[in-house]
Amino acid sequence: MIQSASEHDTPPLEENEYLPARMINEFTYCPRLFYLEHVEGLFAHNADTIEGVAKHGRVDRKTDPLPKAKGKKNVARRSAVGTAPGPSPAETESDTPEPTTEALEKIHARSVTLGSERYCVLAKLDLIEAQGEQATPVDYKRGSPKKLDDGSLGAWDPERVQLCVQALVLRENGYQCDEGVLFFWETRQRVRIAIDDELVAMTQQAITDARATIAKRQLPPPLVDSPKCPRCSLVSICLPDETTFCTQSVLEDSGLPVQSYLFDIGLRFERNTALRAAPPRAVRQMVTARDERRPLYLNTQGYSIGISSEVLQVKEKGKVVQKIRLNDVSHVNLFGAVQVSTQAIQVLLQKEIPLIYFSFGGWFHGMTQPVGLKNIMWRREQFRMADRPAFCLRLARQLVIGKIRNQRTLLMRNHVEPPQEALRFLKALVGEAERAKSLNELLGFEGLAARTYFENFAGMIKVQKS
């Protein structure tokens, strides 16, 4: 399910906005992933992210305060909830001797959020192991450690950079931090990472480059043939292979810059005579993911819908007649006098499941839908593309062609005696729609197909004998 990334990190649009350490990890892993999540506000779960959320849920279950560091008077802000307070002048000027290392209390603080004004970053630390002024961040990861050439255990650059951000934040908040620890759930192993000058320089450069990427307001190109892509949760949004294939196949011989938006390919194709005259190239077919959810239709008058533990309860005269899990529902269709509780509506909207209202006879009245996409840049792009007749015609062609093909398929599969003449006519209309030069012409072909389909619709209704 695609959703806004607000539950993870609110996308910053100002230069002085704080970048979360997790986003620096994403940028090091893939700048395009960083841009999609942080700037465009997109996020989609997969099995790996869901497992990671579950693992971190155990870690975040308890939140501990982090004692103040005596080595710094003014501590950088933590987050919206505040920062670790700095010592008072009386404490800093005290002549009391410092306790020995053995006498210092060992501290384990969980789920601590700290900020750095110098780097404008925020870091939520899963665990801080501290003793005196020495602090070690511990970051939990769901996978397994990287095996180095010498057989020892290490970590990938995104993990090391995220840990270094946490170390830099701790340093600015008055602590000494010379190393960090990565704990891997899969193997139950701890890997120590030295916070040396080389890693600090890499991290500082990643922060600078991430801010530069935000300032450009242009989606970075996808990775090419990268092993990172198959396990990425945003691969179905990013479309790395499809974007690379389409941009290179259309533009590589034209001298035009390769763009990272598929929409831009069509616009440049319209404006370039040489591209339009070139023979079309075959584009590989995409295999889209199957949506296992199904629409729910309720047309029995007097039904009421409630909600209990993410299960829709359909009632008639107060008696439950059916239960449907929310995970199995794509949208809810209500015909006539069917009532829905406010609680059910709110949960449906939280799950991004729209409700569609019809009259008893099936006339569409309206719909209640979630906020949906909050990305203003995508909204602007949608309206901009809608003002381009050539793009609208291309899009409308594909919609009408798909509709006619679907009508023909339904007749072939479900008609008692499939009408051959109607099937041939619908097949011919597909070709006409592909060559349509205007929306009005396309509308005519769509109408002819609809008339042919409904003239033969009765043959698909099979009466069952009692």
Residues 34-45: what's their mean pLDDT? 88
The answer, yes or no, to whether residue 318 has pLDDT greater than 70, is: yes
Which pLDDT band holds residue 371 (cuts at 50, 70, 90)?
A: confident
The answer, yes or no, to whether residue 111 has pLDDT greater than 70, is: yes
What pLDDT score was predicted for residue 106?
78
What pLDDT score was predicted for residue 8?
40
More confident residue, 380 or 121: 121
Q: Under 8 Å CB-to-CB from 246, ≥6 apart: which residues?
A: 262, 265, 283
Could you tell me how many helices (H) and strands (E) the chain has, helices first? 15, 18
What pLDDT score was predicted for residue 282?
54
Closest alpha carbon to 272 in 298, 304, 294, 250 = 250
The answer, yes or no, to whether residue 260 has pLDDT greater than 60, is: no
What value does the mean pLDDT of the chain take? 81
What pLDDT score was predicted for residue 72?
57
Parallel/antiparallel/unpaired status of strands 364-368 and 355-358:
antiparallel
Residues 251-279: what's their mean pLDDT? 52
| Tens of pLDDT, residues 154-166 | 999 999 999 999 9
Q: Under 8 Å CB-to-CB from 356, ≥6 apart: which residues?
A: 331, 332, 333, 334, 364, 366, 367
Q: What is the pTM of this model?
A: 0.62
Q: b/e per residue, 134-159, with b = 16+ CB within 10 A?
A: ebbbbbbbeeebbeeeeeebbbbebb
C-alpha–C-alpha distance, residues 137 and 130, integer Å: 9
C-alpha–C-alpha distance, residues 295 and 293, integer Å: 7
Residues 254-261: what's their mean pLDDT? 47
Closest alpha carbon to 243 in 27, 9, 20, 36 = 36
What pLDDT score was predicted for residue 374?
67
In single-letter form, the type of residue at position 124 comes to K
More confident residue, 131 or 198: 198
Classified as helix, coil or strand, 315 is strand
Residues 275-295: what's their mean pLDDT? 63
Q: Under 8 Å CB-to-CB from 438, ≥6 apart: which residues?
A: 393
| Tens of pLDDT, residues 20-35 | 999 999 999 999 999 9
